[in-house]
Chain A
Amino acid sequence: MHDHLLSLLIWLPIAAGVVVLLLGERNIAAGRWLSLAASFVALALCVPLWRDFNTHTAAYQFVQKAAWIPRFHAYYALGVDGISMPLVVLTALMTVPVLIAGWQVISKRPAQYYAAFLIMEGLMIGVFSATDALLFYFFWEAMLIPMFLIIGIWGGPRRVYATIKFFLYTFLGSVFMLAALIYMYVKAGSYSISAFQALPLTLTEQRWIFAAFLLAFAVKVPMWPVHTWLPDAHVEAPTGGSVILAAIMLKMGGYGFLRFSLPIVPDACRELDLLVITLSLIAVIYIGFVAIVQQDMKKLIAYSSIAHMGFVTLGAFLVYAIVKATASTQGAGMGMDGAMVQMISHGLISGALFLCVGVLYDRMHTRQIADYGGVINTMPVFAGFMVLFALANTGLPGTSGFVGEFLVILASFKASFWYAALAALTLILGASYTLWLVKRVVFGPVANDHVAKLNDINGREFLILGALALAVLLLGVWPEPLLKIMEPSIQHLVTQAAATKIPV
């Protein structure tokens, strides 16, 4: 079974999605339960994935390889290592609350809604587990289709603008990556990612490939200044769409940097690391300021996501500065550790925050901060959750948000005092926009009649928020298992990134 575990994780949700689609809107009750069951089965399949994962090797595990296009040496090749496995689990984990959150809320074409999310789940797991670059690209692009439809069909008033912007932005980024992948295939004679990582490339080639990768991944992360699609997409997307966007899709950009940019074009990365670090610090500081002034809750969290993802890219590219400052690769992986933890943690926290906004939106049908105030008086349980996630978002010790940010800031100290000083500003900025949001929405006297009539969360909402809260706290106080899983792969990545690939 272990040979096919990843295949099951990919195709089971997709198959379930197709069945739900065929059942149609008339059998929506059956469709709902089937979707939920499929997402739980996928989550259950992650148990053997986690349990039987060998934490002593950086090699791909649970590998499967079958011929796909023999003439062009493209394989249906799957496998996970310490970097991708946690992201696969995160994907399976976050799909469940998304489906539950839409349970009574989605009344327009619900069968298609469930099908879209299930198909998304399979495709996203495919992105993380493909070890063949062509297969990776196949999933990477295919994923745009369900997301395009999710925002376009179930989104808000400006959904058409937002979804076309989202699609074209990401498409523009990815086609250049495709061109780069095909270029490397022509040189290496194989689409295997490992072959690309071993392929010697001149510095000029590396610079061009780096640029193509940067475009693709920076749009996805998103990094300043190509982030403008994200606030629009988030604001217009339905709650579930926002959760998946923030929790998983943004992570693909970070994953891409770790899987493609750093090991495939290490010399270009070394040369241009300052560019990425600068853009990341701009994201952390400038976007942090932008977040403060937002009037719309979703937009605020969207900007907060961009700032937090800045930590991911910062952590990933700190490795060169650390190696230079300490003159050894020992401990240079700390930034990447931080980046990985930050990705997982941000997936949980931002997903949870978007779900919180969804809870409020379902009741009040507004996302404007000004329309709220004193929610704690009518929804005390909900307020508890919201405050917890908000504090986690600011990086409060004891929550998962702390671990990632702490590791990245620590790593930047090793690299340069100024990086650390600037990155640490997030502690102030993050606290400002998040806590001010909480203050205006949750605390204070009841603002208006609508707030006064609010009902506290029901069992369904309690279940999903409670589960996520548990995960955030668990990862916060006990990140050890996650770090242990990542350890060998990160070490391997540091060696790859520190090596040179320029042919002599």
Chain B
Amino acid sequence: MNLHSIAAAIPEIYLTAAICLVLLFEAFVGARRPGATGTLTLLVLVIGAALTVVFADVTHRVVLFDGSYVADPLAFVLKLASFLSVAVALLYSRSYLQGRDILKGEYYVLALSALLGIFVLISANSLLTVYLGVELLALSVYAMVAFDRESGVAAEAAMKYFVLGAIASGMLLYGMSIIYGLTGTLNLDGIAVALNAPNNLGVILGLTFIVVAVSFKFGAVPFHMWLPDAYEGAPTCVTLFIGTAPKIAYFALALRLLTHGLGGATVDWTRMLTPIAVLTLVVGNLVAIVQSNIKRMLAYSTISHVGFILLGFIAGTASGYSAALYYTLVYVLMTLGTFGVVVLASRKGFEAERLEDYKGLYRRDPLLALAMAMLMFSTAGVPPFVGFWAKLRIIQALWETSHPWLVIIAVTMSVVGAFYYLRVIKLMYFDEASESAPETARSFGVRFALGLNAAAVLVLGVLPAPLLDLCSRVIH
């Protein structure tokens, strides 16, 4: 094995080395200069993205490390998206951490190790690699939720997240062990070959546990209970983090495990996912309506979007998976923006968490309000914003596979969803500001990034072809 043969795995190798470097840097320099670690981390991410473009941009499927690691065009796209998502999330969180005196280097180390977990998941080609990625990501994220040591709410959220997450990991491991027992291999390619025959009850049993674990990780109903609590309890910048890049990883988890490894059982798992997806759509949208806390509302909105992503999987075709991929990427882009606005609207001692805190935001900060309005319309799926195309692709995939009832449920629920997104716009634009609301954060760089984020939602909405094309191209 020479360097050339493992070039495709450079992003992970680099990231592991970078984590050690950032850890050391924090230990020796970080204490004296609080912001330096953050800057270094952003630099690490930029270099990482560049290295990924140079080494991991494969044109065909490359399997490494005795079949446990795979690099393909899909992995390349997902990794770049994760780099971008994590970089933007860290950029938005900096002033938030600073303002609350929790700007510690550990935050960045944890974020980087979560990113490594995401990468491992994206490139996983064996059950063990999958599990490694899931746990690396999950453990980093639990710690991030509890990052604000002083906050009891955050500790409670982290605890809930950890306990329920551990159960899900157990489920995943149990399901994997059954599949391993039946097929005698950990390799996903091997499992795919072994399961090509009609399936027995054992496979379905193992599959059930895996579907439960995947649903849990996505936050699909009825395994969603941890999500609103974790979103609400975590510091907002951590909510921003866990709401974005990990979703890319869980998309990869579902794709590698279900459609590739367990592809022979597609009929079975689509049958299992269908009620889950419908429940997710209905519960997510209906419960979001009654929320008064914006983080909780966005958490339920996330759940409803997960329902749409699952619908893409239910279609069970390449078109459906690429629709789910497109939806995931678009969702991440929009969520970065919306939580970015929540982060910017907050101040030390004033967390803009209640919906009322957004009253008259237009008067206080027109740019922030405009960005939020665009993001809300996009999330609701109204053209000319990108969220529209995500919904369109899912509906198209469902029609191609003749699922009329799912189409009807999906479009009806998107109308219900429009209501609570419109309410945010109503608060910002139609209501008068309350006297006590403080100034929003004014740091230029972050506002510029947020402006770009909102502009991207519009530009990708008017000219959707490149991203749609990319998502169709990387999934066969």
Contact = CB atoms under 8 A, between A and B. Distances in A.
Real complex partners, A and B?
yes
Contact of B465 (A71, A148, A171, A175): A71
B439 interface: no
Contacts of B426: 152, 160, 163-164
Contacts of B423: 164
Given A142-B382, A168-B419, A182-B399, A152 B411 contact: no
Nearest to A138: B383
Contact of A183 (B377, B399, B469): B399
A141 B383 contact: yes
A153 B384 CA distance: 21
Interface string A144-187: 11001100110000011001100110011001101100110110
Nearest to B418: A171
A50 interface: no
B469 A71 contact: yes
A225 interface: no
Nearest to A141: B383
Contacts of A138: 383-384, 388
Contacts of B411: 175-176, 178-179
Nearest to A185: B396
A69 interface: yes
A185 B384 CA distance: 20
B35 interface: no
B360 to A, nearest CB: 12
Contacts of B408: 176, 179
Given A152-B426, A164-B422, A176-B411, A141 B399 contact: no
B383 A142 contact: yes
Contact of B392 (A152, A171, A182): A182
B399 A168 contact: no
Contacts of A176: 408, 411
Contact of B388 (A68, A141, A164, A183): A141
B414 interface: yes
A153 B429 contact: yes
Contacts of A179: 395, 399, 407-408, 411
B468 interface: yes
Contact of B400 (A153, A160, A186): A186
Contacts, number: 79
Where chain B touches its partner, the secondary structure class is: helix
B468 A69 contact: yes
A481 interface: no
B430 A152 contact: yes
Contacts of A149: 429
- Interface size class of chain B, counting residues whose CB lies under 8 Å from the partner chain: 20 to 34
B469 to A, nearest CB: 5
Contacts of A419: none
A160 B468 contact: no
Given A71-B465, A182-B392, A153 B430 contact: yes
Interface string B368-407: 0000000001000011100010001001100110000001
Given A68-B465, A72-B468, A137 B383 contact: yes
Contact of A71 (B414, B429, B468): B468
15 contacts: A68-B465, A70-B465, A71-B469, A72-B396, A145-B377, A145-B382, A159-B430, A167-B418, A167-B422, A168-B419, A176-B408, A176-B411, A178-B411, A185-B396, A186-B399
Contact of A182 (B377, B396, B419): B396
A137 B51 CA distance: 42
Given A164-B419, A171-B415, A182 B395 contact: yes
Given A71-B472, A153-B429, 20 more contacts: A69-B464, A71-B469, A141-B382, A142-B383, A145-B382, A152-B425, A152-B429, A159-B430, A160-B426, A160-B430, A163-B426, A163-B430, A164-B419, A164-B426, A168-B418, A168-B419, A175-B415, A178-B392, A179-B408, A186-B400
A160 B400 CA distance: 39
Contact of A142 (B384, B395, B472): B384
Interface in A175-214: 175-176, 178-179, 182-183, 185-186
A287 B134 CA distance: 62
B323 to A, nearest CB: 11
A149 B399 CA distance: 33
A138 B418 CA distance: 17
Nearest to A25: B366
